[in-house]
Structure 1
């Protein structure tokens, strides 16, 4: 878990054995969006699936109480 005051949100990071962030899911409370970022070329699918599942659990709801699915309304 990582908070980001500048981007107004909270994220869940996937960290490798060398303590480098290889992927992250970020919840932006300002505009009710959730985004996935990958910082290395290759990440195993099962690791991405685990990251997304953990993010759904840990990042829900937005700071104002709206569920993460609220941000998907315009998708």
Structure 2
């Protein structure tokens, strides 16, 4: 069984008033979004949304770790 490759995409969402970090399956067209972490500038909270079932824990852990570093106004450890 081959291990799925992922890529991360960071962006800003002015409608939801915050930033997001998407976890997608690499090399898919159209891009297959797996999960997203959104940081709200209004509430100062992170929210995780998974778009598919059975996402490997290591992929979610990496997404969370990167989101804490790249989305919050003060990088978290």
Shared fold (TM-score greater than 0.5)? Answer: yes
Further displaced range: 16-25 or 32-41: 16-25
**Which structure is higher in helix share?**
1
CA distance in 1, matches of 2:65, 2:16: 22
CA contact (8 A) 2:69 2:75 kept: no
TM-score (norm 2): 0.75
RMSD: 1.6
**Which structure is higher in strand share?**
2
Structure 2, unaligned runs of 5 or more: 1-9
Structure 1, unaligned runs of 5 or more: 62-66, 70-75
Could you list the structure 1 runs, at least 4 aligned residues long, displaced by more than 4 angstroms after superposition.
Answer: none
